[in-house]
Structure 1
Amino acid sequence: MGRVRTIVFKSAFYGLSVAIVLLAPVTALFGQRAFRRWVLLWTQYHAWCARNLAGIRVRIEGAPLAGPALYASKHQSFFETFELVRMLDAPAVVMRQEYARIPVWGWAARRYGIIIIDRSGSAAALRQMMREAKAAGAAGRSVVLFPEGTRSAMGETPPVLSGLAGLYRAVGRPVVPIALDTARVWPKHGPMRPGLVTFRFGEPIPAGLKRNEIESLVHREINALNG
């Protein structure tokens, strides 16, 4: 049944997503706000497919801040990349540069306002990432970062990458850690399965901490549900 659900979900979601992405340049003609509304519509369709076709239900513990913040989230599946955009009302998302190179989709992602992270870790790339994050914060947008970098399975706790501390300084806002357990229903490898997943918004961590402090706190908090 897991494989059947996966096939049904992917057929419905990715099938219509092709049209949504191809129409993105048209919606961009109506301005940035209209374009982001289009992206949010896409995330709402994703949530509908996950709930009704894959049987995935979401429980939220805690709450996002009322104003802009830097959100540091655990990353276990593609599920949270869509859900967090929906929950946080179109934040800027830090994303690997490989995704920005995908034809049409990459253009749409840049138009939306993603922040590119270059895994080569060069000083110039980090400075560019921090400039983009600072601009997003100045525009009143929250920023979402997956500080461990890559998707992980339940129980895995990859180290926090260096970009977290730089963004923390650049944005100059509280960090809200997000723990989740989406790998229970959408593992890195294998079929999807129905079930309940939790998104836990932790207590905001104030700006101004030292690098080792912020990295340690965030790493601990985002892995709170990773048992």
Structure 2
Amino acid sequence: MIQYLRSLIFTVQMYAAMALMGLWWLPIAMRQDDGAHRAVRSYCRYVRWSAAWMIGLKSEVRGTVAEGEVMIAAKHQSFFDIIMLCSVLPAPKFIMKKELTRAPVLGWFALKMGCVPVDRGKKGQAIAKMMADVQKGRTRAGQLIIYPQGTRVAPGVKLPYKTGTAVLYGQLDQTCVPVAVNVGVFWPRMGIAKKPGLAVIEFLKPIPPGLTKHEFVEQLSTAVEGRSNELMTEAGWTRIEV
């Protein structure tokens, strides 16, 4: 019960801080090219710091943090792995639903970060425009974060890697950096209660461009799933596949 109450207080203040820090950083982000990225990085580092002392959830980033114009294919278990990625990446960006750009403050920051808004069924056009904008200097080069399984996946749950990830890998013709995580052991995909421990994300060996779709998915899934299972076992998780 005490840990649940601590988790509840932490969650409330986390979202309150999002609103307050968003308003604080807004004028800076409007004037400076990297202002939005600095704002997001500052907020995410605050969440990691407050999680450590409020709920006993420390966090650690392993491996070589990706830089430049690359694709990041990450295991996605909860909101906290997004927080950890954005706390260290120099210029993270996402593919997002176009409707989210209308959200107050949040949508504007997302566009300033270089996130790619898409209409349903028109992802290919949005990616082509993003690449052209980077090449022409209209937008900052950055790290495009994708989730190959398409959603948050709880520890032990098996979901296939979507073919869209391989298609995007071929379209971008960029290096892909896999990322393994164990955060779902401590911070569930749903609910308030969070456990103390050490949450880890790990940047793995980059996958060069040029592989076939089958080769890419095989190499990506083997690396991410294998290392994520190792990290979760290290955190005390007992493997029960669903």
Same fold (TM over 0.5): yes
Structure 1 match to 2:6: 5
Deviation at 1:113, TM superposition (A): 1.5
Distance 1:133 1:143, change over 3 A: farther
User: Deviations along 1:81-133, whole A, 9 cap, x unmatched?
Assistant: 11101121232223344543423311221122212355x4x2x3332134325
Residue 236 of structure 2 corresponds to which residue in structure 1? none
1:206 alignment counterpart: 208
Name 1:46's counterpart in structure 2: 47
Give, in angstroms, the shift of residue 29 of structure 1: 2.5
Q: Which runs of 5+ in 1 are unaligned?
A: none
State the partner residue of 2:234: none
- Percent identity of paired positions between Structure 1 and Structure 2: 28
In structure 2, list runs of 5 or more residues that go unmatched. 230-238
> Where does 1:109-124 land on structure 2 (aligned, <5 Å)?
109-118=110-119, 120=120, 122=121, 124=122
TM-score, normalisation: structure 1? 0.86
Q: Secondary structure in 2 aligned to 1:223?
A: helix
Q: CA RMSD in A?
A: 2.3
In structure 2, C-alpha distance between the alignment counterparts of 1:29 and 1:53, rounded to whole Å: 32
Displacement of 1:178 in angstroms is: 0.6
Aligned partners of 1:126 and 1:163 also within 8 Å:
no
Q: Whose Rg is larger?
A: 2
- Cross-structure match for 1:75: 76
Aligned length: 224
Q: Deviations over 1:137-181 (max 9, x none)?
A: 874322211121111110123222233123312332211111111
Q: 2-side partners of 1:133 and 1:198: how far apart?
A: 31
Further displaced range: 40-49 or 73-82? 40-49
What's 2:188 paired with? 187
- Report the TM-score when normalising by structure 2: 0.82
Which residues in structure 2 correspond to 1:1-227 (within 5 Å)?
1-65=2-66, 67-118=68-119, 120=120, 122=121, 124-132=122-130, 135-136=133-134, 139-190=140-191, 191-224=193-226, 225-226=228-229, 227=239
Distance 1:140 1:61, change over 3 A: same
